[in-house]
């Protein structure tokens, strides 16, 4: 049984990550405590860290109490204490949706750190290797179901908690969408490239610090901050758009221009060039002198996909690093049939990425786990370029490199023979930026 003690209020430590108190809840507790005393002690651990009862503690402070009754429980580490605190919040408090999602995500991560985040079908009595363990607390999903939430709601809630910038969450809490999972989920799915870029730069920062490379650590910290700032900017814009759309009564003529080119139009002629703010798009063969003459002399990176008729060895003379993406197979035959100096190969999201350069390029030491072609492009941009670097893309595809360059502040030179792909890429950029592409005579 937990020990109950009278403890000096000033001795109790409050975790900085706790959710904020609600003034109306504190006021209600103050009236109750003034009339009846503290009926339910707060809970602390053996180090006087608060586990449960922040509102009660705050009310007692407001009433100028010097001591407060506490249940003292012992935990092996801070994770056990925090897990108990989270479960107490689920049971005792009315939580706003964003608060609930944050706790779902945090609880899952704690269980994972503790080795207790079992998956369906796992033996909950033994780990791999035969080590016997006791049954874990209920999984977060089981807990959510116990309060009436479906697995779909649970997964979407964790995505919202994980993928929305903290400042944007704070802004959401002041809007009519603070209870709208649909709008919050839409915002969470915006700026995925930037969020992943920030995570990768943060990991690279930690690796650089571990190696004592302060210069690289500072560079990665700057890249991480830039990516987070861009994520925040894009998600705030999406939220403001949602707020404006909800309250707006303006006519269609008041809506912002989104595109001058649509996916259905195919009227871009061979040899035409388009300026997309600072990016250049060329429609035509990207092995032609016309395209090559448009390229800068100091590109940091070229990103290409391996085609059956590869004629792009020239890229190694136009960019410091050339990354060639393939869906399967080995690099040996490709290396034998081209003149580019091979450095190494990466496997990203089941894509084989071959790195070529005239320079010695260090290979990442840790395995990279990312999902989605745009996340792969973002990883390559963060690995081999800096803000405002020039990037060459001799294939438009679905505009992945163009869009990633726009989001991460790089300058893209992209071309393709297909008018449909050119149309689609330009239209996608216009929709993202709310700017117009302009034909140029360069």
- Cα 6 from chain centre: 45
Examine domains 1-94 and 273-440 and report if their fold is the same. no
pLDDT at res. 249: 37
pLDDT at res. 331: 53
Closest by CA to 144, choosing from 126, 130, 162, 158, is: 158
Q: How many CA atoms lie within 13 A of 291 on its CB side?
A: 23
Number of residues that this document lists for the chain: 442
Beta-carbon contacts of 291 under 8 Å, excluding residues fewer than 6 positions away, are: 282, 284, 285, 394, 415
pLDDT at res. 286: 93
Question: What parts of the chain have a pLDDT lower than 70?
Answer: 1-2, 16-21, 75-78, 91-94, 116-138, 146-147, 247-267, 308, 327-337, 349, 366-371, 442
pLDDT at res. 305: 86
- Lay out the sheet containing 299-305: strands in order across: 342-348, 351-356, 319-326, 299-305, 390-393, 411-416, 279-283, 273-276, 438-440
Q: How many CA atoms lie within 13 A of 218 on its CB side?
A: 3
pLDDT at res. 306: 79
pLDDT at res. 254: 41
pLDDT at res. 51: 80
* Architecture of domain 1-94 in this structure: Alpha-Beta Complex (3.90)
pLDDT (tens digit, 9 = 90+) per residue, 367-379?
666 667 888 888 8
pLDDT at res. 336: 61
In angstroms, the CA 341 to CA 335 distance is 8
Question: How much is the pTM?
Answer: 0.47
CATH homologous superfamily of 273-440 equals Vaccinia Virus protein VP39 (3.40.50.150)
Domain ranges within the chain, ordered by starting residue: 1-94, 97-163, 192-249, 273-440
């Amino acid at each position: 049984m937990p020990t109950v003690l009278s403890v000096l209020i000033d001795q109790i430590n409050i975790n900085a990550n706790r959710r904020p108190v609600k003034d109306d809840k504190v006021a209600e507790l103050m009236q109750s405590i003034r009339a009846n005393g503290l009926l339910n002690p707060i809970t602390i651990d053996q180090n006087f860290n608060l586990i449960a009862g922040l509102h009660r503690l705050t009310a007692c402070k407001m009433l100028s109490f010097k001591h407060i009754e506490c249940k003292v429980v012992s935990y092996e580490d801070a994770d056990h204490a925090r897990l108990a605190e989270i479960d107490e919040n689920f049971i005792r408090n009315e939580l706003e949706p964003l608060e609930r999602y944050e706790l779902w995500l945090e609880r899952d991560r704690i269980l994972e750190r503790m080795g207790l985040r079992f998956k369906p079908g796992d033996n909950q009595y033994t780990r791999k290797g035969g080590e016997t363990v006791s049954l874990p607390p209920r999984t977060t999903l089981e807990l959510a179901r116990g309060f009436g939430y479906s697995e779909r709601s649970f997964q979407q809630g964790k995505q919202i908690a994980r993928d929305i910038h903290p400042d944007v969450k704070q802004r959401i809490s002041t809007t009519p969408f603070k209870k709208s999972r649909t709008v919050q989920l839409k915002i969470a799915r915006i700026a995925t490239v930037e969020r992943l870029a920030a995570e990768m730069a943060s990991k690279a920062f930690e690796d650089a610090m571990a190696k004592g490379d302060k210069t690289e650590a500072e560079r990665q910290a700057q890249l991480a901050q830039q990516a987070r700032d861009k994520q925040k900017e894009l998600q705030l814009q999406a939220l403001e758009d949602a707020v404006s759309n909800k309250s707006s009564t303006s006519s269609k003529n008041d809506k912002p221009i989104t595109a001058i080119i649509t996916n259905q139009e195919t009227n871009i002629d061979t040899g035409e060039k388009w300026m997309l703010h600072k990016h250049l798009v060329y429609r035509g063969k990207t092995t032609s002198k016309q395209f090559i003459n448009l390229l800068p002399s100091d590109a940091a990176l070229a990103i290409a996909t391996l085609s059956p008729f590869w004629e792009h060895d020239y890229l190694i003379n136009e960019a410091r690093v050339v990354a060639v993406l393939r869906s399967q197979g080995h690099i040996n035959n490709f290396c034998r049939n081209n003149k580019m100096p091979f450095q190494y190969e990466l496997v990203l999201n089941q894509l084989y990425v071959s790195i070529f350069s005239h320079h010695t390029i260090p290979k990442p030491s840790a395995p990279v786990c990312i999902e989605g072609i745009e996340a792969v492009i973002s990883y390559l941009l963060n690995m081999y370029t800096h803000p405002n670097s020039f990037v060459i893309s001799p294939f438009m595809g679905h505009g992945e490199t163009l869009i990633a360059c726009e989001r991460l502040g790089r300058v893209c030179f992209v071309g393709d023979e297909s008018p449909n792909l050119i149309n689609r890429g330009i239209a996608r950029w216009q929709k993202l930026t709310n700017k117009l592409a302009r034909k140029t005579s360069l």
